Amino acid sequence: MRHKNTAAMREFLKGYRAVDEENVYPTDQQERLPMPPMEVRRGGETTALPERDVSPLGVLLENRCSRRSYGGGPLTLEELSFLLWAAQGVKTVNEYRTLRTAPSGGARNPLELYVFVNNVAGLAPGVYHYLALEDKLERLGCRANQADQLTCALAGQEFAGRAPVCLVWTAVPYRSEWRYDSHGHKDILLDAGHSCQNVYLACEELGLGCCALAAYDQEALDELLGLSSAETDSKEAEFAVYACCAGRPA
Ligand SMILES: Cc1cc2nc3c(=O)[nH]c(=O)nc-3n(C[C@H](O)[C@H](O)[C@H](O)COP(=O)(O)O)c2cc1C
């Protein structure tokens, strides 16, 4: 029996729609209300923490940042392969779950991963689906003006639409709802965050730059991926929830 909130929770996972823009009220920042404090102070006794030893992971974390300029030429297929594996790579499978490079609530792994390829040596531009179970790329097609359309779908963020690659995570919410009903939706977005952080660290390791993207037009991005947003209530429903572009800094 499906919870009455399921449809509303699915809607909550989605990005904005261009047609809704005029209904967005001014935010408190736009109204120039004071910014909330950056940290909560509870007034307890404090202990200074020791300096950290330098470790390879520590260096990656220290240097990680969002990079939005990619003038350094194409990615190699090996680099793209590493990013996809870091994001969603399957390590073990049994009949009811996969274990992957990123953690997932209840190992439900409700995400799919797509990649808009614009400049990868040896791989034709187009949109591809990462078949994580087989560790393969499935080509879905290419539009002549893919970079322009992707820029539009990414709320006009040209650096992202024209980046060598742009990963897009979609959710198949029923994979989580099947076990958790409407308690599963929170995990879907948390899973996407874990996966994207893996991409950030993988890029840092490879000397690439990337930038997470939550500003996108839901209908436009779903349409570019060939997903129909009309089927929103079905068990097969799938829609974009997050993206991350990547490239080689100049
Ligand atoms: C959930 C999320 C959504 C984001 N969406 C965008 C976006 O749409 N466009 C963009 O340029 N940066 C986006 N960013 C990147 C943030 O602006 C960036 O992480 C933040 O300014 C901190 O900078 P840093 O990543 O260099 O530490 C997003 C980051 C996160 C985690």
Minimal-distance CA residue to ligand 1 atom 18 = 66
Q: What is the pLDDT along the chain (250 residues), one digit of tens a residue?
A: 566 788 899 999 998 776 566 667 788 999 999 999 999 999 999 999 999 999 999 999 999 999 999 999 999 999 999 999 999 999 999 999 999 999 999 999 999 999 999 999 999 999 999 999 999 999 999 999 999 999 999 999 999 999 999 999 999 999 999 999 999 999 999 999 999 999 999 999 999 999 999 999 999 999 999 997 656 789 999 999 999 999 999 9
Site to substitute for ligand 1 among 66, 67, 166, most atoms within 8 A of C-beta: 66
> 180 CA to middle of ligand 1, Å?
29
For the segment 154-206, what is each residue's pLDDT rounded down to a tens digit?
A: 999 999 999 999 999 999 999 999 999 999 999 999 999 999 999 999 999 99
71-247 is classed in which CATH architecture? 3-Layer(aba) Sandwich (3.40)
Find tokens 């009903």 and name the residue: 181
DSSP codes of every residue in 109-145: --EEEEEEESSBTTB-SEEEEEETTTTEEEEEE--TT
Q: Is the CB of 66 under 6 A from ligand 1?
A: yes
Domain-by-domain residue ranges, the chain?
A: 71-247
- Does 176 sit in the ligand 1 pocket, CB within 6 Å? no
**Residue 3: its pLDDT value, please?**
67
- CA–centroid distance, residue 139 to ligand 1 (Å): 28
Q: Are strands 98-100 and 90-93 parallel, antiparallel or unpaired?
A: antiparallel
State the sign of the Cα–Cα–Cα–Cα dihedral 142, 233, 186, 133: negative
Shortest-distance Cα residue to atom 14 of ligand 1: 212
Question: Tens digit of pLDDT for each residue in 65-82?
Answer: 999 999 999 999 999 999
